[in-house]
Amino acid sequence: MKKTGVAILGSTGSIGTQALEVIEAHPDHFSLQVLTAHRNANMLIDQALRYMPKCVVIVREDVYEEVNDALVGAGVQVYSGEASLAQVVALEDIDIVLTALVGYAGLTPTLAAIVAKKDIALANKETLVVAGELVTRLARENGVNIYPVDSEHSAIFQCLLGEQLTAIEKIYLTASGGPFRGWSKDALQNVTPQQALKHPNWSMGAKITIDSASLMNKGFEVIEAKWLFNLRPDQIDVIVHPQSIVHSLVQFQDGSIKAQMGLPDMKLPIQFALACPERVKNDFPRFNFMDYPQLTFEKPDRGTFRNLDLAYEAMELGGTAACALNAANEVTVQAFLELKIGFLQVGEINEKVMRASNFVQSPVYEDYLAVDKEARNMAGLFCSVGEIKGQEG
């Protein structure tokens, strides 16, 4: 059996490190070709020496020498810079590219991988949020499969195996509700990043954990689902499921519902995406019904957590609306983590930027670049004002 050649973009992050565990556990199935990191030189060096990929990319050029010197004689080629990300994904021995970069940074290398006719294991939802129309069109034109890694979209994907997309009546994306489920706006006024980073069920990076707390992550997943499964906005619903056992559900036109269930462990959707359509045996912990005698469901609080409705609005508008929303959110989340703005200001500034940014109904690649830059600059200005107000208060 030919091994599947894998490139991991973002190998030092939460998804990347778990993907390496999956690959290490199945040496007969996978062959690691490429690892990349933004600035974590030490971890990238350790990973390269342990897993021996053909090459690595360290995006930050100021630490290139450190990585290169450490890997001299190891037989691992070292590259640097953002442009290298889009180049290494085209290497001949790569069959699938796991895009685990954070945020907008995943778009360009994912597009490059698609043009190079590599299948995509997509853990970077922002790629479809920002430019879903462009990404899915290129994937169709190049005969490329996009396998979702998000647990919710992996669940939908698994429920649809053997089914016709035209038979879908509705899908339900489940959300844990995050650490602030049930909190009022007043209670959220003074929450800290440390509180927001304490997710009840999942272990994730800081950015996605804050997005989960604000329901922006779920809003982005709604947009991602539209593009992955060719759905209308009214076919996508969100329900809060605090136990995170039912990962999502599909309701068909005959009224039947399929759900995918399991313990909250990202290694399962990662493994499924990399090995699809094969189900590879593993030793992950198994779900036991007796450990979860009650599974509960409730509506999300859209009034308190405005980001979810902003995502639906961006999806309805189409064009570059979601690109602007994503750019604003990346800036506001970082500002919140740096104590420059409050938790509720994340959603408030996101809304202002989305409404004020230049809107292009039928964008090309260059339009996405321009809107992303404009929205980031605008969000940065709003965050600066928020910081001043906070200091005055």
CA-wise closest residue to 12 among 63, 56, 62, 77 = 56
> Residue 352 above 80 pLDDT?
yes
Name the band, by pLDDT with cuts 50, 70 and 90, for residue 392.
Answer: very low
Q: How far apart are CA 342 and CA 158, in angstroms?
A: 38
CA end-to-end span of the chain: 65
- Give CA torsion, residues 300, 311, 146, 228, to 10 deg: 80
The string of pLDDT tens digits covering residues 130-162 is: 999 999 999 999 999 999 999 999 999 999 999
Cα of 51 vs its chain's centroid, Å: 24
Instruction: Write down the pLDDT at residue 149.
Output: 96
Residues of the chain with CATH 3.40.50.720: 4-148
Percent over 90 (pLDDT), the chain: 91
> Residue 247 above 50 pLDDT?
yes
Name the band, by pLDDT with cuts 50, 70 and 90, for residue 206.
Answer: confident
What architecture is the 318-393 domain classified under in CATH? Orthogonal Bundle (1.10)
DSSP string, 250-262: EEETTS-EEEEE-
> Residue 90 above 50 pLDDT?
yes
Residues of the chain with CATH 1.10.1740.10: 318-393
Which of 152-161, 216-225, 384-393 is least confident? Answer: 384-393
Instruction: Write down the pLDDT at residue 204.
Output: 72
Place of tokens 């709604």: 222
CA-wise closest residue to 138 among 157, 110, 166, 165 = 110
Name the band, by pLDDT with cuts 50, 70 and 90, for residue 389.
Answer: low
Instruction: Write down the pLDDT at residue 354.
Output: 97
Instruction: Write down the pLDDT at residue 391.
Output: 45
Instruction: Write down the pLDDT at residue 385.
Output: 80
The string of pLDDT tens digits covering residues 259-295 is: 999 999 999 999 999 999 999 999 999 999 999 999 9
Would you identify the CATH topology of the domain 4-148?
Rossmann fold (3.40.50)
> Residue 390 above 60 pLDDT?
no
The helix/strand/coil state of 110 is helix
Instruction: Write down the pLDDT at residue 393.
Output: 38
User: Measured between alpha carbons, how far is residue 304 from residues 188, 212, 289, 308, 309 in Å?
Assistant: 9, 14, 33, 10, 10
Instruction: Write down the pLDDT at residue 200.
Output: 75
Entry pTM: 0.92
